[in-house]
Amino acid sequence: MRRIFSGYYRPSDEEFSDLWRDCLFVLDANVLLNLYRYSKDTNEDLIRVLSVVSERLWLPHQVALEYQDNRLDIISGQEIVYQEIPRILEDAQKKIRGLFRQEHLSIDVDSMLKTVESAFEVIRRELNKHRSRHPDLFRNDHIRDTITSLFEGKVGLPYSQDEVDKLSRKGESRYQNQVPPGYKDLKDKQGRTKRYGSTVVKEEYGDLILWSQLLDKAKSVGRPIIFISDDKKEDWWWRAKGKTIGTRPELVAEMLDESGVLFYMYQTDQFISYARDYLDIQIPQETVNEVQEVAVEYRMLAELSDVDDYERAIESWNDSLGRHDVYAPPVRRLLVQAYLVGHGNRWNAVPPEEIERIVNLLEDNLREEPTSDLDWRMWIQAIRYSSRQSIDMALEKLARWKAFGDSQDATYYLYVLHALKAIKGTTVDKIRVTSLLQELQERSRYRRDRTRSLEWFGEGYELRSLVHYSELGEWNEEKGFFDDPSGLVQVEGRIAAINGPERGTIEVLPSGLSAFFVPAVASMGDGQFETLKPKSDLRVSFYLGFCYDGLRAWQVEKIQP
């Protein structure tokens, strides 16, 4: 019976000993990314544990890809901490000063205020000291260097496009029948794609690809697998009445059937705890505690995608907002995410009354936390679908965002909105676009996605003329553009310069703004881009995208006279 239902049985002590002695240790992407969230000592302790088993480490290609794709987002998020804490201290100091200034006969107000302000000043100085010492991971990422060294020669090969497509078709059936892993990603990742070279992967099948690569590796080397992950979704973990029992039995059974070896999972804090025994390595309990705290924080952020009853969740979180002991901004963010996820993560599918509610929630947050980049990014998405679509109003608010937090994203959206106005003929905005673009290019030079057009010029009034790329469907490799450009408007311009088959410039009319384009893929009727050189005033139409590196013209076509 134990052999038939192996997934429902915890390994024996002897089996655990054999497992730790013989297995391959495989890390999930979230474990690698959490290295950026730990303190220096905890980071070094975990690396020390991994170094002990370095000869038995391995990464599926899918894990390595997700780590590389998300690394810069984690690094960017750390800088926000240094911006947020001084603001929180300042707000707290004002509130304390206001309370003490009310008449209170039993307190020496001046003495107490000096004590409070002195303590806050110590915190500010300490924070500034740490910030000055904080490594610039955009320029010199020593954590990635360590990960690269640990896993050199230990990363699996990518699947071909045929293999990915075959697995995606298989995934449709598995997900329909809730066969783990990956089906819990269908709700919030469906329709999104990720590219690696010429291979396009549907993001909802990312975990299934990872699992398939694990099965392949176990089969080829004949060794058991310990998979370390801080993902807590039920398509990886066996849960009963809210309690995590262990690895999903189906995964244990499939690994045994397909590869003939044992499969077991740990969260990172569990892995470190057991490593102290099985690897005979000294790790302080403080390290285990910190890893556990970070994992809990990570799971809280991911928890929303695991909510099934959104109406009940929204009702519960709305009730929480009425309580005096609840810090409101995180609850409001959960509400916004719940409204959005409940409509398939598509802003254009959220009903108008819920959009107005979302905008109000976010604007309440921005009054309390004016440097929150996350709130600002969600606000700029939501406001375009609301009744408050004025570009001038949005510019005024975005200027506040930039003044408070000096965020790259604030600069980007200021640039985009001024460009929208310039395209519609405002000379003053053209001058502002030029200065903002210079600043944006300088500050975003290390961004992985700086040449990606996140926003596009579309039909509509005021802010509705801004179209997010997520509304354009999937990328169509054959036509070299999105599947559904119906919300976009073709812009007219003239060829200003051609510097080769891969680089050219179009003057956007009537604004005079410059847009990059690729002459080799432009549709000019006479075929060769070289023939355009003597006709640099040729009129063309195109779709216009806004990226961190400037304007980009796509689907460029000659306008027939």
Using 50, 70 and 90 to split pLDDT, how confident is the model at 323? low
Tally Cβ neighbours within 10 Å of residue 343: 14
Q: For tokens 């509304």, name the residue.
A: 471
- Among 106-120, 171-185, 324-338, the range scoring the smallest mean pLDDT is 106-120
Q: Residue 439, exposed/middle/buried by CB under 10 A (0-12, 13-18, 19+)?
A: middle
User: Given this model, what pLDDT does residue 305 score?
Assistant: 47
* Residue given tokens 């020496």 in the structure block: 108
Q: How confident is the model at residue 335 (pLDDT cuts 50, 70, 90)?
A: confident
Closest CA to 276 of 28, 43, 52, 59: 52
Return the structure tokens found at 178. 């809730």
Secondary structure (DSSP) of 233-294: -TTTEEEETTEEEEE-HHHHHHHHHHHSS-EEEE-HHHHHHHHHHHS-----HHHHHHHHHH
Classified as helix, coil or strand, 196 is strand
521: nearest Cα among 553, 555, 495, 498 = 555
Pairwise pLDDT comparison (416 vs 12), residue with the higher score: 416
Q: Give me the pLDDT at residue 113, please.
A: 67
Is the predicted pLDDT of residue 273 greater than 60, yes or no? yes
Structure-block tokens of residue 521: 């893929």
The CATH architecture that domain 467-558 belongs to is Beta Barrel (2.40)
Provide the 8-state DSSP code for 204.
G
Give the span between the Cα atoms of 432 and 419, in whole angstroms: 8
The answer to whether 99 touches 65, Cβ cutoff 8 Å, is no
d(CA 174, CA 152) in angstroms, rounded, equals 33
Span 55-81, average pLDDT = 83
> Out of 5-14, 26-35, 221-230, which region has the weakest mean confidence (pLDDT)?
5-14
The CB-based long-range contact list for 379-384 (8 Å cut-off, 24+ gap) reads 380/413, 381/347, 381/468, 382/336, 382/347, 382/350, 382/355, 382/358, 383/359, 383/463, 384/347, 384/463, 384/464, 384/466
Instruction: Please report, to the nearest 10 degrees, the dihedral formed by the alpha carbons of residues 371, 377, 380, 381 taken in order.
Output: -160
DSSP assignment of 113-166 equals HHHHHHHHHHHHHHHHHHHHHS--TTT--HHHHHHHHHTTT-BPPPPPHHHHHH
pLDDT band at 534 (very low <50, low <70, confident <90, very high): very low
Q: Letter for the amino acid at 183?
A: Y
How far apart CA 502 and CA 516 sit, in angstroms, is 10
Interval 521-526 mean pLDDT: 68
Question: What SS3 string covers 9-74?
Answer: CCCCHHHHHHHHHHCEEEECHHHHHHCCCCCHHHHHHHHHHHHHCHHHEEECHHHHHHHHHHHHHH
Nearest to 192 by CA among 379, 464, 469: 469
- What value does the mean pLDDT take over residues 51-66? 94
Residue 7 in this model has a pLDDT that exceeds 80: no
Banded model confidence at residue 237, pLDDT cuts 50, 70, 90: confident
The rounded percent of the chain whose pLDDT value lies above 70 is 79
The residue whose two tokens read 């003057």 is 507
- Tell me: the pLDDT tens digits for 447-486? 767 888 999 999 888 898 999 988 898 888 888 899 999 9
Q: How far is Cα 230 from Cα 212, in angstroms, rounded to an integer?
A: 19
Tell me how far apart the alpha carbons of residues 370 and 376 are, in angstroms, rounded to a whole number: 8
- The reported pLDDT for the residue numbered 388 is 80
User: 10 Å Cβ neighbour count for 59?
Assistant: 23
